[in-house]
Structure 1
Amino acid sequence: RQHASVQNLRAKIANGDLGKVNLVHGSYLQDWLLYETDFNWRLAPEVGGKSRAVADIGSHWCDTVQFVTGKKIVEVFADLATVIPVRKKAIGSVATFSTQSTEDVEYEDVSINTEDYASVLVRFQDGSRGVFTVSQVSAGRKNRLSFEIDGSKSSAYWNQEEPEKLWMGHRDKPNEILLADPALFAPEARSAIHHPGGHNEGWPDALKNMMLNYYTFIRDGKDPLKDQANFATFEDGHISMAITDAILESHEQQKWVKVQANKEVLV
């Protein structure tokens, strides 16, 4: 949410620059569990939960596109798969994302019951459609959250691995690449960018924005039950959990499932 270009795209959509949002599609791809010898606590459902790829990274994709479009996901149809059903767990300690050599390492076989991959059809509250894929076994993709918003006037595409770029697609004129630059941003998004154009901002700056917005909200004495927060809240977290639950149910039953988000649990 807090990447400068994401904030700018949200403002552009709210201002009608893309027209009516018709389609949303994209993916969140990683490769840190590509090999059968890759192992981490997230693989164990008794520790990490019964969903892995969807809960770990798919939740962020859903939250981001809901934030950007201003539309809630209300129904899902999901297909999940465990690409590597048996992994080799090192007997001993190996750090997450480690590049440590696997030579001379002893392993034990562990059956895997959480998903490496998922593709999910989604329906938004206004009837618009979308689809996304998540994978933790896609070679070369390190942290590639990407999405495209297709509107009635133009389209926009953003990729977290190149966060300073926003692709704008048109039918009747050349497409554009909008580089992050406060002089070119919508007024509503300028507070999210802190350096001049060409001085690329990225993941650490997004985290800085999150904490800046959070502590400013507290400093200004705002009420989370009344005032609109400019950061993800517990309610947003609950919605992400509700979407994940619906995705798991959809996969198990192979049917469309409505997202059951309940605000009462937050009061």
Structure 2
Amino acid sequence: MADQLRAGIVGAGFIGAVHAHAVRAAGGVVARVAASTPERSAEAAARVGASAPAATAEDLIDADDVDVVHICTPNSLHVPLARRALAAGKPVICEKPLATGLDDARALADLAGGRVATVPFVYRFYPAVREARARVAAGQAGPLHLLHGAYLQDWQAGGASAGWRGEAGEGGAYRAFADVGVHWCDLVEFTTGHRITRLSARTSGGGTVSTVAFETDAGATGSTVISQTSIGRRNALRFSLDGAEAAYGFDQEHPETLLVGGIAENRTVHRGSPATSGAAGRYSLLPPGHPQGYQDCFNAFVADTYAAIGGSAPDGLPTFADGARAAALVDAVITSSESSTWVEVPS
């Protein structure tokens, strides 16, 4: 494998361009891009600055000048393309959801085994999130008893089309939770070390809204509201982790700070503050006062994936196992919504 990793990106929409930026930030090169037709592939290659287009996704995966495959396609294509990339012996970054069904997601995770195969749960890479995780792990919050928050967007408000995400085979009746609800759950489980073990969910609005109450394996209860029709909420991913000694609050639309709630006072810890941990400092790449955002998180995720390809073991890298975990949560939300009962989350 070349010292400079050569990436192939399948899918040339918004998220494909985000991947292309992250490849370059990680020191790689975008070798090839494949879209839905050869003509669109050529246009996409010019737009994102790839070395060359690929006529098809399969040609891209099999190409000798592609070392790592980024899958940024509609959901239903994730499984066959990821399988082909793994069969070709290539590391894979696959957009979530890893699969449209739990069995397929588990099978992909099993197939990946110990190989580098990751899913972009990129909100893990905000320094404030790493700071909350470090403080919880150090016991500074005391036992956590309540985990709550929301992930609210408005891009489907006012009857706006869901595009391919609204199709039955791509997300359909539970698309908001499968699309962004899994981000919230992954972030809270990652930050707290808790696992959601049972839940009660209600889904409405043709799949654009889900409300979920849950319990965890460490004795906490919680809730989250997931919506893609909340007017004025562009990308409001928020959580609060409430413990006996402290509470930690994070808002992705204001990502430079972590709220630390205490009995005597509340404090705001800014990115780059001397009070932050080494775990947070590793991802604080700009001087304080120069905001870091979503693309910076994506860059860090891809950089850590590429480091893993090189033999390192970055802490907190989300893998296909985490993608399968997200699929288990989606499966439980579907079962609970359709049965109007509490259900166990498949382990």
TM range (shorter): 0.7 to 0.9
CA RMSD of aligned residues (A): 1.5
User: What secondary structure sits across from 1:45 in the alignment?
Assistant: coil
Q: Please tell me whether the aligned partners of residues 269 and 276 of structure 2 are also in contact (alpha carbons under 8 angstroms).
A: no
* 1:36 corresponds to 2:155: no
2:279 corresponds to? 188
Q: Structure 1 residue 196: deviation in Å?
A: 2.1
Partner of 2:189: 66
- Percent of aligned pairs with the same amino acid: 33
1:256 maps to which residue?
342
C-alpha deviation, 1:221, in angstroms? 5.5
Aligned residue in 1 for 2:233: 141
Spell out the pairing of 1:78-157 with structure 2 (5 A cutoff).
78-82=201-205, 114-157=206-249
TM-score (norm 2): 0.62
Task: Specify the alignment match of 1:97 in structure 2.
Answer: none
Structure 2 residue aligned with 1:167:
259
| Residues 250 and 257 in structure 1, CA contact (< 8 A), matched pair in contact too | yes
Answer yes or no: is the 8 Å Cα contact 1:217–1:229 preserved in 2.
Answer: no
Match of 2:12 in 1: none
> How far does residue 229 in structure 1 lie from its aligned partner after superposition?
4.9
Return the alpha-carbon distance in structure 1 between the equivalents of residues 328 and 224 of structure 2: 17
2:220 is matched by which residue type in structure 1?
Answer: S
Of 204, 208, 212, the residue aligned with 2:295 is 204
| 2:326 counterpart (232, 235, 240) | 240
SS class of match (2:157): coil
Are the structure 2 counterparts of residues 39 and 189 from structure 1 closer, same or farther at C-alpha, using a change threshold of 3 Å? closer
**Of 174, 177, 184, which aligns to 1:54?**
177
Residue identity in the other structure for 1:244: V
Contact residue 174 and residue 208 of structure 2 kept, 8 A: no
Aligned residue type for 1:134: I
Letter in 2 for 1:119: T
State the 1:182 CA deviation.
5.3
CA displacement at 1:49 relative to structure 2: 4.5
Q: Give 1:19's aligned residue.
A: 142
Unaligned 5+ runs, structure 1: 83-113, 223-227, 262-267
SS at match of 1:52: helix
Equivalent position SS for 1:35: helix
- What SS class does the counterpart of residue 248 from structure 2 fall into? strand
3 and 146 in structure 1: CA distance in 2 versus 1, 3 angstrom threshold: same
User: Of 309, 316, 319, which residue of structure 2 is paired with 1:230?
Assistant: 316
The whole-number CA distance in structure 2 between the counterparts of 1:19 and 1:201 is: 29
Cα distance change of structure 1 residues 229 and 17 upon mapping to structure 2, 3 Å threshold: closer
| Separation (CA, whole Å) in 2 of partners of 1:19 and 1:39 | 42
Unaligned runs of 5+ in 2: 1-123
Alignment match, 1:179? 270
What letter matches 1:71 in structure 2?
H
Higher relative contact order (CA 8 A, sep 6+): 1
Contact in 1 for aligned 2:171/2:178 (Cα 8 Å): no
Secondary structure of 1:168 counterpart: strand
| Structure 1 moving runs of 4+ over 4 Å | none
Size of the aligned set, in residue pairs, is 224
| 2:128 is the counterpart of 1:5 | yes
